[in-house]
């Protein structure tokens, strides 16, 4: 993988990824596997739907929209796609300015806003879901120091993770969707460990608590959004954890084994039990997922076994949750 990066030294800056990502890709690039846990059986979906992102040159993040609508991003170009999981269609929705990236994303349907993590740019972008116009751009981290990776919608704003720093970023949403200045939350406890190549990754909001995935640890943690204190969720082990989805007390976590693990969490979010392992022969380096109309799990195929990615297509795989 290091040789691949050197051979492509003439690529634009956003494609010449830091060594950290190269090492992460090497760690993640495993064959597709189905694993079992004592008392638990891999679950093979009875149906798999493939939705091509036409013209995409890469992919990573996804967000649920109204009904069966979803939004997905072109990782390195930053463009945003809008699709329909019921119809099995997708089209380019926002052609963004050069120099942007699109990693994790979340839709605020009350205010018709889409929040997108900007990865190695250190930025976050906010788009209008009606017009596709850019509403705001935030410089959350220095491009040399941070990777703004994933997003979560809370009651009063949106949270972003940083995979290289023990920090979360918060963009407040006021009345009628007015956006306020971003602030930084420094983490403490085990989630604050940044000794791995990639650390904080997926994030979800659960009322007054945040849940974050830590790629290097293969663990999930709760985080107090007021203090930054973190606590492990016992029994929830996710090797190279990436995107996560939380609905009630059920949590889906995308991991490096070309699968999605579904856990049932206790009411206090202190522990969890593995309920189901979702596999598909169509998965190829899945990164993130979104729960669509409670009946469909849409999983992004990132094809990141090479840098730059060379797959002829990038797609969303819809499976049973």
Predicted confidence (pLDDT) at residue 288 exceeds the cutoff of 80 = yes
Q: Please tell me the predicted confidence (pLDDT) of residue 258.
A: 83
Predicted confidence (pLDDT) at residue 282 exceeds the cutoff of 90 = yes
Give this prediction's pTM.
0.89
Q: Please tell me the predicted confidence (pLDDT) of residue 201.
A: 97
Q: Please tell me the predicted confidence (pLDDT) of residue 47.
A: 64
What's the whole-number mean pLDDT along residues 117-139?
Answer: 98
Report residue 204: phi and psi, to 5°: -140, 155
What mean pLDDT value characterizes the chain? 88
Helices (H), 18-108: 19-28
Q: Please tell me the predicted confidence (pLDDT) of residue 17.
A: 46
Closest CA to 256 of 104, 32, 75: 32
Q: Please tell me the predicted confidence (pLDDT) of residue 156.
A: 96
pLDDT digits (tens, 9 = 90+) for 203-253: 999 999 999 999 999 999 999 999 999 999 999 999 989 999 999 999 999
Q: Please tell me the predicted confidence (pLDDT) of residue 307.
A: 83
What's the whole-number mean pLDDT along residues 115-127?
Answer: 98
**Which single residue is written with the structure tokens 């992460």?**
24
Q: Which domain holds residue 253?
A: 2-319
Q: Please tell me the predicted confidence (pLDDT) of residue 305.
A: 87
Q: What CATH number corresponds to the domain at position 51?
A: 2.120.10.30
Residue 112's pLDDT band (cuts 50, 70, 90):
very high
Here the tokens at position 315 are 């797609």
CB atoms inside a 10 Å sphere around CB 233: 21
d(CA 277, CA 44): 8
Q: How many structural domains are present in the chain? A: 1
């Amino acid at each position: 993988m290091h040789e691949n990066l050197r051979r492509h030294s003439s690529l634009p800056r956003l494609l010449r990824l830091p060594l950290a990502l190269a090492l992460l890709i090497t760690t993640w690039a495993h064959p597709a596997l189905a694993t079992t846990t004592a008392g638990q059986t891999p679950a093979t979906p009875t149906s798999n739907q493939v939705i091509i992102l036409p013209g995409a040159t890469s992919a990573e993040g996804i967000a649920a929209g109204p009904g069966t609508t979803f939004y997905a991003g072109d990782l390195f170009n930053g463009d945003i796609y809008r699709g329909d999981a019921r119809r099995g269609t997708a089209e380019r929705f926002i052609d963004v300015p050069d120099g942007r990236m699109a990693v994790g994303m979340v839709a605020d349907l009350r205010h018709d806003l889409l929040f997108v993590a900007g990865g190695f740019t250190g930025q976050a972008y906010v788009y209008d879901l009606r017009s596709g116009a850019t509403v705001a751009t935030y410089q959350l981290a220095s491009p040399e120091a941070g990777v703004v990776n994933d997003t979560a919608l809370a009651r009063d704003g949106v949270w972003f993770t940083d995979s290289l720093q023990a920090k979360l970023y918060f963009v407040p949403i006021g009345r009628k969707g007015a956006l306020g200045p971003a602030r930084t939350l420094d983490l403490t406890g085990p989630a604050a460990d940044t000794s791995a190549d990639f650390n904080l990754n997926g994030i979800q909001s659960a009322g007054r608590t945040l849940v974050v995935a830590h790629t290097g640890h293969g663990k999930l943690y709760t985080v107090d959004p007021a203090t930054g204190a973190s606590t492990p969720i016992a029994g929830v082990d996710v090797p190279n954890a990436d995107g996560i989805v939380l609905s009630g007390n059920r949590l889906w976590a995308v991991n490096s084994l070309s699968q999605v693990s579904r856990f049932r969490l206790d009411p206090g979010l202190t522990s969890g039990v593995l309920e189901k392992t979702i596999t598909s022969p169509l998965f190829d380096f899945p990164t993130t997922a979104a729960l669509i109309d409670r009946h469909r799990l849409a999983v992004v195929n990132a094809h990141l076994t090479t840098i730059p990615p060379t797959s002829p297509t990038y797609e969303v795989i819809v499976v049973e949750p």
